[in-house]
C-alpha cells in the first residue's frame, strides 16, 4: 500500500500534468492564438468586481517574446507549473506560474565584465525612439520541446565591438546549457549588389530575429528580417537540428536582389499536419525562383534543405513594395480541420487560401480563394480563431478599427462581420489577440487584446491596456483602465498577445515586468 503522503504527492503531480501547456508563440502550430482548455475564466466572472491584477513578476528588461508555460516541471525536487520569460537584455527567467515571488532560476546570457552585452538598438538604427527602444537581446518567442526538457531561443549580443547571434538549447529545470550554443552564420551564392565575390553572408548585427521559433521534423526553424528597413538587407530562414544544434539548411529570400524580410509582427510560422511550413515575406525583390519578396510561402524541410514548394504573390507586388504595404505583416494562420489558411497585409486585406494550391503569381490574384479589405487601417498583429457555438470564427483588430468577428461559411469568409466591438483602436498596432474558451461551450469564450490606450505606438513607447470581450457578442467585459490603481498594464509591448492559461492572464510590459491577472480572492 502506498503511504498517504506519497499518494497525495502522486495525485498532485497528476493534477499538474493535466494542465495545458503553451510551448510556442500563439499556442499551436496552426498559430490560432487560442487556448480551448480554459475552464476557470469565462464571460460571467471576468468582471470588475471579480477579476483583476493579482501581482507582477519583475525582470531585467523589456519582454517582446510571448511568455511560455509548462505544467509539472520538477525544479529543486518539486513539481510546479512554470512560466518562462525571456527579455531584451538577454536574460531568461523561470517563475512559479501559480504564485508571486522571485524566479525559480534566472539565466544571464551576457557578461558585462567581459564586454558581452545585449545590442543597443542605437548601434543598428542610430535612433533610440523607433520600433525598438532600448536593447535588442531575445526578441523572437522561444519554442519548447517538452519531451527533451528544453527551451530553444536566439540571443543577440555585442562582444567587444563585434556582433553575434546564437541559438541556445537550455534546460527547463535549471536554465543550464544542454548543448553548447550554435553561433548563427550563413553564406549563399548571390549576384546581389551587396554580395562579395559572389557570396552573400548573414548579418548578425542587422538581422532582426522577430518571428517566433518552431520545431518541425526535429529541426528548429528560425527566420529574420531587418530593423527599420535599413538597406541593404535580406530575409533568411535557417534550420538547426534540435538534437545537436548543427545547422542543416539555409534559405535566403532575396539572393539575387534585395530585402524579403520575415517579421510577421512576432508571430511564428504556421505548420500543418504534414510538416509544411508557411511564412509571409515582407517587401522585396521577386522572380519566382530564388527571390520571394511580398509573398506567402509554403516550405518543406529535409535533412539538408529548405525548399519552396508553393507560393502566392499579389499581382501588384511592386506597387505594394513602393508603399511599404507588406503582405507579411500578420503571419499566416491555419484553420484547424481544413486545408484553409488566413493571411493579412498592411493594406488591411484579409486573404483566404487553399494550402493545396496557393496560386503563385497571376494577373488577377486567382490563387487566393478570397481577398477583401477590412477597412480599418493596417492589419498587423493578426488573427485569432475559435470554433464556438455559432461556428468557426476569425477575430481581427486593425490599427484604426473596432474588434471584428468574421464567420467561416464552408470555404469562404462572410465579409460582413458577424459581430463588432464598440471600443476603437487609437493607432498602431491595433489589438494583439488571444482567445480562451472551454471547448465550444457557450459563455466560456473570451477574446483578450493588448493595445494602446490613446495613441499610436508605431515609434517610441505608449501606454497600453488589456481588454476582455465576450467572444460571442464582442461586448466588452473588463479592461485594465477601469480600476487603474489596481489593474493598470503599464507601457505596451507591441504585438505581444496575452498568455491565457490555467485561470491566469500573463501580460508583459515595457516596464520590466510581467503582470498576472486572474480571479480576485473573495
Angle at 165 between CA 239 and CA 73, to 5 degrees: 70
pLDDT digits (tens, 9 = 90+) for 145-195: 999 999 999 999 999 999 999 999 999 999 999 999 999 999 999 999 999
CB 405 within 8 A of CB 391: no
Look over the chain and give the mean of its residue pLDDT values, rounded to a whole number: 95
For residues 23-51, average pLDDT: 98
Cell 512559479: give the residue.
96
200 Cβ partners below 8 Å, 6+ apart? 187, 188, 189, 190, 192, 194, 234, 252, 255
Backbone phi and psi for residue 268, each to the nearest 5 degrees, phi listed first: -80, 175
Residues with Cβ within 8 Å of 428's Cβ and at least 6 positions away in sequence, in order, are 378, 380, 399, 452, 456, 457, 458, 494
| Gap between the Cα atoms of 8 and 16, Å rounded | 12
Identify the pLDDT of residue 4.
43
Q: What is the pLDDT of residues 276-317, one digit of tens each?
A: 999 999 999 999 999 999 999 999 999 999 999 999 999 999
pLDDT, position 7: 41
Chain centroid to CA 282: how far? 16
CA distance 157 to 163: 6
Identify whether 303 is preceded by a cis peptide bond (ω within 30 of 0).
no
Residue 3 has pLDDT above 90, yes or no: no
**Comparing 59 with 7, which gets the higher pLDDT?**
59
Torsion sign over Cα 316, 320, 325, 328: positive
Q: Give 383-413 pLDDT, tens digit per residue.
A: 999 999 999 999 999 999 999 999 999 999 9
Residues 467-475: what's their mean pLDDT?
98
pLDDT of 12 above 90:
no
Q: What's residue 425's pLDDT?
A: 96
> Does residue 259 register a pLDDT over 80?
yes
Q: How far apart are CA 359 and CA 282, in angstroms?
A: 18
DSSP secondary structure letters along 179-225: SPPEEP--EEE--STT-BTTEEE--TTT-B--SPPEEETTEEEEEEB
Residues 6+ apart with CB under 8 A from 393: 385, 386, 387, 405, 406, 407, 408, 418, 471
pLDDT of residue 401: 96
In this prediction, residue 19 carries a pLDDT of: 79
- pLDDT of 42 reads 98
Distance CA 434, CA 15 (A): 25
Q: Is 9's pLDDT higher than 70?
A: no
Task: Examine the pLDDT at 438 and tell me if it is beyond 80.
Answer: yes
Residue 218's alpha-carbon distances to 27, 181, 244, 334, in angstroms, are 19, 17, 10, 21
The contacts of residue 439 (CB under 8 Å, 6+ apart) are 36, 37
Fold observed for domain 16-519: Methylamine Dehydrogenase; Chain H (2.130.10)
* The three three-digit cell numbers of residue 238, written as one number: 535557417
- pLDDT at residue 241 in the model: 98
Query: Coil, strand, or helix at residue 319?
Result: helix
Q: Is residue 246 helix, strand or coil?
A: coil
Amino acid at each position: 500500500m502506498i503511504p498517504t503522503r506519497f499518494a497525495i504527492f502522486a495525485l498532485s503531480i497528476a493534477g499538474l500534468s493535466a494542465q495545458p501547456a503553451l510551448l510556442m508563440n500563439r499556442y499551436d502550430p496552426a498559430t490560432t492564438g487560442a487556448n480551448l482548455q480554459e475552464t476557470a475564466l469565462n464571460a460571467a466572472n471576468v468582471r470588475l468586481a471579480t477579476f483583476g491584477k493579482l501581482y507582477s513578476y519583475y525582470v531585467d528588461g523589456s519582454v517582446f517574446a510571448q511568455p511560455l508555460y509548462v505544467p509539472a516541471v520538477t525544479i529543486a525536487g518539486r513539481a510546479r507549473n512554470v512560466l518562462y520569460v525571456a527579455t531584451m537584455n538577454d536574460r531568461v527567467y523561470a517563475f512559479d506560474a501559480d504564485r508571486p515571488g522571485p524566479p525559480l532560476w534566472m539565466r544571464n546570457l551576457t557578461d558585462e565584465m567581459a564586454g558581452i552585452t545585449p545590442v543597443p538598438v542605437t548601434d543598428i538604427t542610430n535612433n533610440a525612439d523607433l520600433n525598438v527602444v532600448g536593447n535588442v537581446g531575445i526578441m523572437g518567442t522561444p519554442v519548447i520541446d517538452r519531451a527533451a526538457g528544453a527551451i530553444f531561443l536566439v540571443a543577440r549580443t555585442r562582444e567587444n565591438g563585434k556582433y553575434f547571434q546564437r541559438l541556445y538549447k537550455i534546460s527547463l529545470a535549471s536554465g543550464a546549457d544542454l548543448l553548447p550554443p550554435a553561433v548563427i552564420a550563413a553564406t549563399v551564392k548571390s549576384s546581389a549588389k551587396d554580395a562579395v565575390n559572389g557570396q552573400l553572408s548573414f548579418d548578425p548585427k542587422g538581422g532582426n530575429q522577430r518571428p517566433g521559433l518552431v520545431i518541425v521534423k526535429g529541426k528548429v526553424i528560425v527566420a529574420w528580417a531587418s530593423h527599420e528597413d535599413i538597406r541593404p538587407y535580406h530575409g533568411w530562414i535557417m534550420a538547426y537540428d534540435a538534437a545537436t544544434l548543427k545547422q542543416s539548411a539555409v534559405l535566403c529570400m532575396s539572393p539575387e536582389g534585395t530585402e524579403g524580410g520575415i517579421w510577421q509582427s512576432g508571430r511564428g510560422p504556421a505548420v500543418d499536419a504534414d510538416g509544411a511550413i508557411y511564412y509571409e515575406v515582407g517587401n522585396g525583390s521577386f522572380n519566382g525562383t530564388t527571390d520571394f519578396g511580398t509573398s506567402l510561402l509554403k516550405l518543406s524541410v529535409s535533412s539538408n534543405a529548405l525548399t519552396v514548394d508553393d507560393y502566392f504573390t499579389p499581382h501588384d507586388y511592386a506597387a505594394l513594395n513602393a508603399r511599404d504595404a507588406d503582405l507579411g505583416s500578420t503571419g499566416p494562420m491555419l484553420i484547424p480541420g481544413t486545408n484553409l489558411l488566413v493571411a493579412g497585409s498592411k493594406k488591411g486585406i484579409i486573404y483566404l487560401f487553399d494550402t493545396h494550391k496557393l496560386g503563385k503569381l497571376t494577373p488577377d490574384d486567382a490563387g487566393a480563394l478570397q481577398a477583401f479589405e477590412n477597412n480599418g487601417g493596417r492589419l498587423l498583429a493578426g488573427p485569432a480563431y475559435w470554433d464556438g457555438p455559432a461556428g468557426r470564427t476569425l477575430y481581427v483588430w486593425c490599427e484604426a478599427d473596432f474588434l471584428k468577428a468574421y464567420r467561416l461559411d464552408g470555404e469562404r469568409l462572410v465579409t460582413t462581420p458577424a459581430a463588432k466591438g464598440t471600443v476603437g483602436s487609437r493607432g498602431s498596432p491595433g489589438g494583439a489577440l488571444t482567445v480562451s474558451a472551454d471547448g465550444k461551450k457557450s459563455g466560456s469564450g473570451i477574446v483578450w487584446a493588448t493595445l494602446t490606450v490613446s495613441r499610436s505606438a508605431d515609434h517610441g513607447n505608449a501606454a497600453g491596456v488589456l481588454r476582455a470581450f465576450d467572444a460571442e457578442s464582442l461586448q466588452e467585459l473588463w479592461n485594465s483602465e477601469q480600476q487603474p490603481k489596481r489593474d493598470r498594464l503599464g507601457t505596451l509591448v507591441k504585438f505581444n498577445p496575452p498568455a491565457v492559461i490555467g485561470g491566469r492572464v500573463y501580460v508583459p510590459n515595457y516596464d520590466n515586468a510581467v503582470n498576472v491577472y486572474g480571479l480576485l480572492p473573495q
